[in-house]
Each structure stands twice: as C-alpha cells, then as structure tokens.
Structure 1
Amino acid sequence: MAVNLMHDNFFMENYTVDEYALCTRFKSKRRKKRLVKEDFERQLIQLDNLEKKLWKQRNNLPWILLDEPYQKGWQRHFKLRDDVVRSSEAEFYKTLLEKINTWQFSSDKTFKKRKSKKRKNASSVQIQKLKEFTESEWNSPKLELSEREKVHFSKQERWSKVFERYRIHYVFNEPWRYVLQVKPYMITHKRMLDSDLESEIQLILNYTSNYNLRGKINRLVKGLSYNWGYFQSENPREISPIKNKSLHLLYQQYVDEMI
C-alpha cells in the first residue's frame, strides 16, 4: 500500500497543473478563459438579435394622423409636360413615369446646396434626373419595363469613379417630356410612440456605445468590424464636454433623433 502511494506521488510530481487537469474533470486556466470568452460572445449575439427584434417592433408600429399637419421643407419630382398631357400618348408616358420618377427633398425651395463650408455664398442647384438602370437591373427578370417601354432607352457607357472602370447605363431618350415640380413636403402622420420599447432600445444603444461593443458585434454577426449602415459615434464616456463640445452635441443630437 505504501509503495502505491509513493508511486502516485511520484507520478503527480512529474506533471504540471494543466497536464494534470487534462487527466481529470477540472478545467485548465486556458479552457476557463476560453469558455468565458465564448459565453460573452454568445451574449453579444443574443443582444444583437434582441436589438433587431426591438427595431422591427418599432418599425411595425401604426401611424397616427396628426390633428394639425405641418410643413417640413420641400419635395421635387417629375410630371408630364402640358403638351404631352394633351397628346395621344399621354397615358403611355404617364405609366412610364411611375417607373422612372425620382424624388428629392430640401429645406430650400430653390434646391440649392452650398459647395463647401469655407465658401459661404457659393451654391449650386441640385441636379435631378430620371431613373437610370444599370446593366444588371436591365437584364433582371424583375424589371418592370415592357418591351415597348424599353425601346425608349439607349445604352450609354460612362466612367465610374467608385468602381474605377466604365459601366453601362440605360438612359431614357426623351427626358424633355417631363418637367420638375416643386411642392411643400407636408407631415400628416407620425408613428405611434411606445415608451417601454424606446427605453429598451436606448439601454442597448448606451451599453454598446459606452463599452465600444458595436465593432465586436458586427465582427461576430457579419464578419466585419464596421457596418456602413450604422452611425458610429464616439464613445460618450471618452468625450470631454469642454474640448470636444461639437462631438458631444453631435452624439446628443443622434440620441434625440433615435428617441
């Protein structure tokens, strides 16, 4: 019996703690650290799923009719020219306009935008065109244009600064048949407000922004640490209200808009 105990003590003394843990039910330090990390990542994925669910519930809330509608800027879109309305092809071009019409919104009725912040008085009118189709959209079976309507489009090749190559576009041949129309943009409805839902969403936003978790969540869910569709604000815990007053106001404005 004494020989067996001596043998066991000698056996244990020749192994490290991690190696001994592999032979037992105890977890090694590395294994424990890994389990804690995996559990935290699962919690972040669950938090992201909960956030998407809450935003979906918020977007599905019904709209409420306002007692007093108010104007919020101006909207601009195309309409048939007067002589085209009186022509025999008015119905055809009206149906086509529903498929290629575009809208723009501006706080200025003239639809002018400042060229740069340094040039205060320099401004230019925003350019608005009818909808153009890329090559993939043109060849897609989901394209709503009929064969008769496709005849009125031409194929053009233009240089793209984004893709750094020439790209094909299909452009309407007779844009003169339509003219721009400016109208007040009236707000007649507002979405129903759920205070409990807004509070839950804000808690998640505060948690992810205060601990800089948005990049980690995007990396776990999408494989990328940055999401182009998400407004990435500075960590509010690192913002100095004295040195970075503009950043602090920007973040507060973003929070107010979310609420």
Structure 2
Amino acid sequence: MENYTVQEYALCSRFKNIKAKKRLVKEDFEKHLIHLRKLEVDLWKKYSDLPLILLEIPYRKGWQRNFVLREDIARSNDSSFYEALLEKINTWQYASEKSFKRKKKRKRKNVYAEKLQTVKEFSESEWKSSKLTLTEKEKMHFYKREQWCPNCKCYHIHYVFNEPWRYVLRITANMITHTKMVDAVLESEIKILKNYVINLNVRHKINKLVDGFSYRNRYHQNENPREKNPIKNKSQHLLYQQYVDEMI
C-alpha cells in the first residue's frame, strides 16, 4: 500500500485542500465586510430621512448672519433681479457671539478677528455643470479669477460676483423651531455597527473592497483598539453577533 500525503489525497478526492479552504474563508469574510458597508449606508439613510418635529416652545441658539439687499437697491427698478440672484448666492454664518469674531493667535497672544463672509463663489466644475441655476443674464455679473492654492500647489479658477456692494450683512437671532425625531432603536443599531467596525479595525479593508482604494481620515480610527482594551472589545463583538443573529 502506497503512502500519500495530505495534499495528494485532497487532489484525488472531493475534499478541498488547505489553500482552497483559506481562500474560501477570505472570500466569505470580504463578502461580510461588503454587507457591513451596505448595512451602514442603509442605516444612515434611514437616519437622514427622519422627519423634523415642531417645537412647542422655540428657543434661541446664538446668532446668524446673511446677506440682504441694500436699501437703495431695494427701492430701485432692478430690485427683483438682484433679489432673485441673492437667493442663489446667499451664504449664512452662525456664531455664539453677536460680534462674529473668532479667536486668532498673533505674536503669542490671543486676539479676536472678525470672520470674513462673502457671497457664494462658483468653481470651474460648478460653473460648467448643467445643474447650475444661473441664467445668462445673471452670469454676466460674474468674472473669472485665478487663485493660487498652497495645498494643491496649483491655480484654481473661481467665478466671483463683481458687484458685492449691492448686498449688506444682517445679523439676526438664530431661532430653533424644529428638531429631528429621535429613534432610539435606529441610533443603537448605528452605534453597534460603528463599534464593531472600529473594534475589529476593518475600516481600511472595507474602503479598499468597496471604493477600490483606502483613504485616511481623522474621522476614522486607524489604530487597532483591541490592543488597548480587549475586554471591552470582546463584549462589543458579542453584542454585534447577537444583533446580527436577531436580524437574520
């Protein structure tokens, strides 16, 4: 009777060899990660679709600042044109102080400088996009400007409104009249899924499988947290497995 090795016996039988088993385990794990991304997107879509609820007693939260027509322009014959244009290029800023100043360090001292606010500028891609709502007459009031970007080390093209003096800033109280509906079950599912992805440190793998590349972001944790507190992460893993079993 001849002696056969394990690999030779696997080749002439219906059993899978060790390499095929490892490949199947890897493919199954990758399918599981892709399913996690789909589940995560679905849960966040449900969260974003939650309706707003009207508050019985509105409250003020800081201040808001936006542009309005200047008084003499509002009384002119072209007021309707510039009012319609303002709806497309208006911007808003929010602050806790009415002065709208931000802390800035200068010569090792903290000073307060006023925040800069301008009407909306369009990038070159936005300007050529079919989704742009500006009419031909409104486009005539913009000029092309090239500005150096120190981060990208190149010039960026922007289309800027050439008559900003027609609008002035107005500061009003920021009143909160609506709040988002609270769904405790949905928020718990999002939290469990997020903890599972972070604790297993698979965000990098999911991005590479779904998007084709892996990007680094401060929002996502890159360090494996299981090296810090394995007891906590073990409980999170068991909690997620129980959650998956209930969904199935």
TM-score normalized by the length of structure 2:
0.83
For 1:145, the equivalent position in structure 2 comes to 134
Q: 1:231 corresponds to which residue?
A: 219
Percent identical across equivalent pairs? 57
Give aligned pairs, total: 228
CA contact under 8 A between 1:70 and 1:187: conserved in structure 2?
yes
What's the counterpart of residue 217 of structure 1?
206
Tell me the secondary structure at the aligned position of residue 180 of structure 1. Answer: strand
- The equivalent of 1:192 in structure 2 is 181
Uncovered stretches (5+) of structure 1, i.e. residues with no partner: 1-8, 241-259
Is the aligned partner of 1:154 residue 2:143?
yes
Equivalent residue letter for 1:161? P
The one-letter code of the counterpart of 1:20 is Y
Runs of 4+ in structure 1 over 6 Å off: none
- C-alpha separation in 2, matches of 1:91 and 1:227: 47
Aligned equivalent of 1:75 = 64
Measure how far apart 1:120 and its partner are.
5.6
Decide which of 155, 163, 172 is 1:174's aligned counterpart.
163
Q: CA offsets, 1:8-57, max 9 Å, x none?
A: x33xx3x5322331221111112112211211111111122112111111
Letter in 2 for 1:231: Y
Seen in structure 2, the aligned counterparts of structure 1 residues 76 and 236 have a Cα distance that, compared at 3 Å, is farther
Q: CA deviation at 1:63?
A: 1.1
Q: 1:238 to 1:131 in 2, by over 3 A?
A: same
Partner of 2:9: 20
Could you tell me which amino acid in structure 2 is paired with residue 34 of structure 1?
A: R
Q: Which structure has the greater CA radius of gyration? A: 1
TM-score by length of 1: 0.80
SS of the residue aligned with 2:110? Answer: coil
What is the match of residue 125 of structure 2? 136
TM-superposed CA distance for 1:126, in Å, is 1.3
Please state if 1:102 is matched with 2:95: no
Q: Take 1:54 and 1:145, find their aligned partners in 2: how far apart are those partners?
A: 35
Paired AA for residue 65 in structure 1: L
- The alpha-carbon distance between structure 1 residues 71 and 56, as it changes in their structure 2 partners (threshold 3 A), is same
In the other structure, the counterpart of 1:85 is 74
One-letter identity of the residue aligned with 2:165: W
Q: Secondary structure at the match of 1:115?
A: strand
Aligned residue number for residue 153 of structure 2: 164
In the alignment, is the contact (CA less than 8 A) between 1:114 and 1:120 conserved in 2?
Answer: no
2:28 maps to what in 1? 39
CA pair 76-237 structure 1, distance change in 2 beyond 3 A? farther
Query: Contact (CA 8 Å) 2:68, 2:169: kept in 1 or not?
Result: yes
Shift of 1:143: 1.7
Distance in 2 separating the partners of 1:121 and 1:115? 6
3-state SS in 2 of match to 1:40: helix
Secondary structure of 2:171's counterpart equals strand
Native 8 Å contact 1:218 1:227 kept in 2 = no
TM superposition shift of 1:237 = 4.9
Contact in 2 for aligned 1:114/1:121 (Cα 8 Å): yes
Amino acid at match of 1:28: N
Kept after mapping to 2: 8 A contact 1:133/1:169: yes
Partner SS for 1:158: strand
Note the aligned Cα RMSD (angstroms).
Answer: 2.2
